[in-house]
Amino acid sequence: MRKNIVAGNWKMNKNLQEGIALAEELNEALAEKTINCDVVICTPYIHLAPVCATIDTDLIGVGAENCADHESGAFTGEISASMVASTGAQYVILGHSERRAYYGETNATLKTKTGLALKNNLTPIFCVGEVLAERENGTYFDIVKTQLSEALFELSAEDFSKIVIAYEPVWAIGTGKTASPAQAQEIHEFIRKTIADKYGKEVADNTSILYGGSCNASNAKELFANPDVDGGLIGGAALKVETFMPIIEAF
């Protein structure tokens, strides 16, 4: 059966020392508790190797927030999927709305990045989600379906089953505005059905679909209680152990 996952997305926060300290503090907090979900932290590239070396990677999975759309070569400033994997990281966020909006990532680029991530044994946490206007004009189902199908639906069922999906309505990211539990369930159920139509019920039932967008200690329990919400991708609240732990403990 699919896993419940709470993943943190640090974005461009924390210098190296602060990031290592946060990861160590989280490691300590988790070691003392019985946890009922997988915990992942996705960090800036520079933190990956030292964080993997200091924490217990059985307790906390580690991921990057992006990777390049080429294997290697003359791409100044880029970091490849194989470089990410060589740090000990096991995950990579792909298609975050901030990457799509500010760095022009398209479904076509993301298809390439997903292939490279899988080739290097990284688990993509693949983000989909609509902007406010698309929510309001009712096209969000089509938007999400297109994001999934253009970037992912040429994968084999075997490869698709290695992917974690994160539904993140752009209007809820960092805004303090959260999708209601009913809104989250509606679209998560739609995503699972879209996957089932393409890959069959078994693959769909085994796919973890996370919710992201102003998820915090006070709304996590209600959101995660939905049958098709398998955890969260957490931005702001993942930057402190005291705000991240209660979300993990919502399971």
Q: Which of 96, 105, 134, 188 is catalytic?
A: 96
Is residue 114 a contact residue for ligand PGA (CB under 6 A)?
Answer: no
Report in angstroms how near the CB of residue 198 gets to ligand PGA at its nearest: 25
Taking the C-alpha atoms of residue 69 and residue 79, their distance in angstroms, rounded to an integer, is 9
- SS3 letters for 147-196? HHHHHHCCCCHHHHCCCEEEECCHHHCCCCCCCCHHHHHHHHHHHHHHHH
- Is residue 185 within 8 A of residue 223, CB to CB? The reply is no
Report in angstroms how near the CB of residue 214 gets to ligand PGA at its nearest: 4
- What is the three-class DSSP state of 62? strand
Q: Which is nearer to ligand PGA, 124 or 236 (CB)?
A: 236
Contacts of ligand PGA in 91-110 (CB under 6 A): none
Residues 187-226 as x/- pattern, contact with ligand PGA by CB under 6 A? -------------------------xxxx-----------
The residues with which 92 forms a beta bridge, in sequence order, are 64, 124
Is residue 9 a contact residue for ligand PGA (CB under 6 A)?
Answer: yes
Q: Would you call 168 a catalytic residue per the annotation? A: yes
Nearest residue by C-beta to ligand PGA? 235
Report in angstroms how near the CB of residue 99 gets to ligand PGA at its nearest: 10
Contacts of ligand PGA in 160-189 (CB under 6 A): 168, 173-174
Residues 227-246 as x/- pattern, contact with ligand PGA by CB under 6 A? ------xxxxx---------
Taking the C-alpha atoms of residue 172 and residue 5, their distance in angstroms, rounded to an integer, is 19
Q: Which is nearer to ligand PGA, 100 or 199 (CB)?
A: 100
Q: Name which of 81, 91, 38, 79 is nearest 60 in CA terms.
A: 38
Taking the C-alpha atoms of residue 48 and residue 170, their distance in angstroms, rounded to an integer, is 26
Q: Would you call 222 a catalytic residue per the annotation? A: no
Taking the C-alpha atoms of residue 211 and residue 197, their distance in angstroms, rounded to an integer, is 21
Report in angstroms how near the CB of residue 110 gets to ligand PGA at its nearest: 16
Q: Which is nearer to ligand PGA, 64 or 237 (CB)?
A: 237
Taking the C-alpha atoms of residue 173 and residue 98, their distance in angstroms, rounded to an integer, is 9
Q: What is the dihedral of CA 219, 134, 144, 95, to 10 degrees?
A: -80
- Is residue 80 within 8 A of residue 68, CB to CB? The reply is yes
Is residue 85 a contact residue for ligand PGA (CB under 6 A)?
Answer: no
Report in angstroms how near the CB of residue 123 gets to ligand PGA at its nearest: 16
Active centre residues (catalytic): 96, 168
Q: Which residues here bind ligand PGA, judged by CB under 6 A?
A: 9, 168, 173-174, 212-215, 233-237
